[in-house]
A and B are shown apart, each in its own frame.
Chain A
Amino acid sequence: MSKQSKKEEFNFTKGYEELEKIVTDFESRELDLEKDLPQFERGLELAGKLKKRLQEIENTVIEIEKKFEQE
């Protein structure tokens, strides 16, 4: 249950896209150290979380109990 809620807290796709956006934004303009520092920290945090998620090696297979075969 706790694993499930943890997964919901951090969506890998959204995290990855947000990181991509920050990197692209940073590379497209001059940076203002003071103003952009929070975004930089956010990027580092996202990269850390994404890497942590990659350590979760297990896939979960749930068999759906549904009989398609005719009795």
Chain B
Amino acid sequence: MNEAITVSQFVEVINFTLEGALGRITVEGEVDEFKIIHNKWVTFALKDAQSSVNCFMTVWQYKAQIEDGMKVKATGMPKLRNKGFFSFVLDSVIPSGEGALKRALQLLQRQLEAEGLFAQERKRMLPRFPQHVALITSRDAAAYKDFIKVLGGRMGGLTVAFLHTQVQGEDAPRQIREALEVANTELGNLDAIVLVRGGGSLEDLMAFNDEGVVRAVATSRTPTIVGIGHERDITLAELVADVRASTPSNAAELLVPSRQEVLAEIEGMNLRLKNGISQTIGQIQAQVTEAVHALKTRIASTSNQVMRRVESLVGLGQRLRFTVAQQDKQVTTMERVLASLSPTNTLKRGYSITKTADGTLVRSKRGIKSGETLTSVVQDGEITSTVVG
């Protein structure tokens, strides 16, 4: 006969046996009666067509978005509780299957959106010319090669601190979170953190929809640029990032401008600078030319005035000479008239001048007495005569 054991011992033995027999086990089923109690515990029933098992977990271990009817993979240990009821104590529950993943994603997206994590005003600008960046991805992924290759064709001179992590699988979210933490705290002043991964199924990309990763991206002190999958894939990490790239290659393009583009900008500024100065020099040249022209005009006008003065003086001289000549002519005429009027010429024509003895000119017979002597001047001499009557 077996010795009796206490109830507590019985529960302990059963739990020990279950743990030994099953260990940590994952069960897939549908969620029913999902509840969060006092924001501390999560309870739901995991069921299939025939059976149902009560599940229990703490809120801090609950990282997915679950609702009734969702298919999940629940991982934990079966346990008989002290009160005698059986419970599947979980440390992880994740949506299972495309439909459930999509639904969980939808629920998380709705919640984060309500918190304002996707708001445009939260987005920070990346520096135009980053110099130091951190790159988080898997070294084995095509995304790494694509990003580095495209980056090589851009501006250059960039230092990339590369942090290798898994980008899919159960441990990927934790690794990515830690890499983000390291980049933000241990790598000095970074201009940006780049998180990239190539395309894949929704399940492959789930690390970038993990609430912890999404929140770590959202709260990153360094601006983030996230490019996950192909263009059509959108993950929540991309939605909270400061810059969303459509692919890893696009992340490189958005991060660093092309060399040609920047070179053209610098050449343009160089030209604008030179234009500014040339224009100023041109203006000064024009001013100098104008001043020289004004001076020349002034000199020309002064010399014109002088010329006019000289010309007028010359004219004056000519007029004077003419006047003098005129005067000369008049004098000659007058001389001729005078000459014609002189007594000598009159005498030549046969006239004579008669004077009395005292030299008085005889102009009339009055006063002339008989016997008086008169002298007549003729052309060639004098004739003395005596008055007889």
Contact = CB atoms under 8 A, between A and B. Distances in A.
Interface of A: 7, 11-13, 16, 19-20, 22-23, 26-27, 30-33, 36-37, 40, 43-44, 47, 50-51, 53-54, 56-64, 66, 68-70
B182 A66 contact: yes
A66 B136 CA distance: 12
Given A12-B129, A44-B270, A70-B171, A26 B157 contact: no
Contacts of B127: 13
A43 B164 CA distance: 42
A66 B163 contact: yes
A13 B158 CA distance: 12
Interface residues of B, number: 45
A contact face: mostly helix, strand, loop, or mixed: helix
Contact of A33 (B156, B263, B270, B280): B280
Given A13-B127, A59-B148, 17 more contacts: A12-B129, A22-B273, A23-B276, A33-B280, A40-B277, A44-B270, A51-B266, A51-B267, A56-B157, A57-B156, A59-B159, A59-B160, A60-B160, A61-B135, A62-B160, A64-B162, A69-B175
Contacts, number: 118
A43 to B, nearest CB: 5
A16 B162 contact: no
A38 to B, nearest CB: 12
B164 A59 contact: no
A13 B272 contact: no
B187 interface: yes
